[in-house]
Amino acid sequence: MTVLVTGGSKCGKSHFAEMLFSGFEGRKLYIATMQPYGEEAFEAIERHRKLRSGKGFETIEKYTDIDEINLPESCGILLECMANLCANEMFKDGEPVDPTDKILCGFRHLKSRAKLLVIVTNEVGNDGVVYEKGTAKYIEAMGEINRRTAELADRVVECVYGIPVPLKGELP
């Protein structure tokens, strides 16, 4: 089963995504995509580590190239988060490149190995603000990645103020 969890900042996405693994039997892998740049990033990483503590996740820090991860068969995978992965892939060599196909290839790789795949992403592009060119390209890529991932997912859930709202399929 593949579940896409979306929502705004600090809306309970991570907590909900981790809860989906509470009854999972087997290896649970947490793919962390946030590169630790700056104090805020280190604080967010530490907060997420504390949230996962004692829940049986093995952490794999992989900021790009998720299609290269060697994964065991029938594992549980929590990818957090698609927005970081997109930025890392898009801007890793300076000039922005469209990461959509590469990320979706990685998504298919994860899906082919996982019994349960949960992907956390962020809502982007609905604030009506006009951004500079690089940011606008990022928002466009994220919108396309989110749309195509939602098509391939069995379930899509939006977290709103900590409340999971099913957008596709039943709540897991």
Domain spans of the chain? 2-167
pLDDT confidence of residue 75: 98
Residue 163 has pLDDT above 80, yes or no: yes
| Whether 2 contacts 111, CB under 8 Å | yes
Can the peptide bond before residue 81 be classed as cis, meaning omega within 30 degrees of 0?
A: yes
Residues 6+ apart with CB under 8 A from 72: 27, 113
Write down the mean pLDDT value for the chain: 91
| Whether 18 contacts 51, CB under 8 Å | yes
pLDDT confidence of residue 22: 92
Residues 6+ apart with CB under 8 A from 15: 51, 162
pLDDT confidence of residue 144: 96
Residue 172 has pLDDT above 80, yes or no: no
CATH architecture, range 2-167 = 3-Layer(aba) Sandwich (3.40)
pLDDT confidence of residue 105: 97
Residue-wise pLDDT for 56-95, tens only, equals 999 999 999 999 999 999 999 999 999 999 999 999 887 7
What are 95's two structure tokens? 């000039």
Can the peptide bond before residue 159 be classed as cis, meaning omega within 30 degrees of 0?
A: no
Widest pairwise Cα distance in the chain: 46
Residue 47's pLDDT band, with cuts at 50, 70 and 90, is: confident
Residue 150 has pLDDT above 90, yes or no: yes
Is the model more confident about 52 or about 133? 133
**Gap between the Cα atoms of 75 and 8, Å rounded:** 28
Range 103-110 average pLDDT: 97
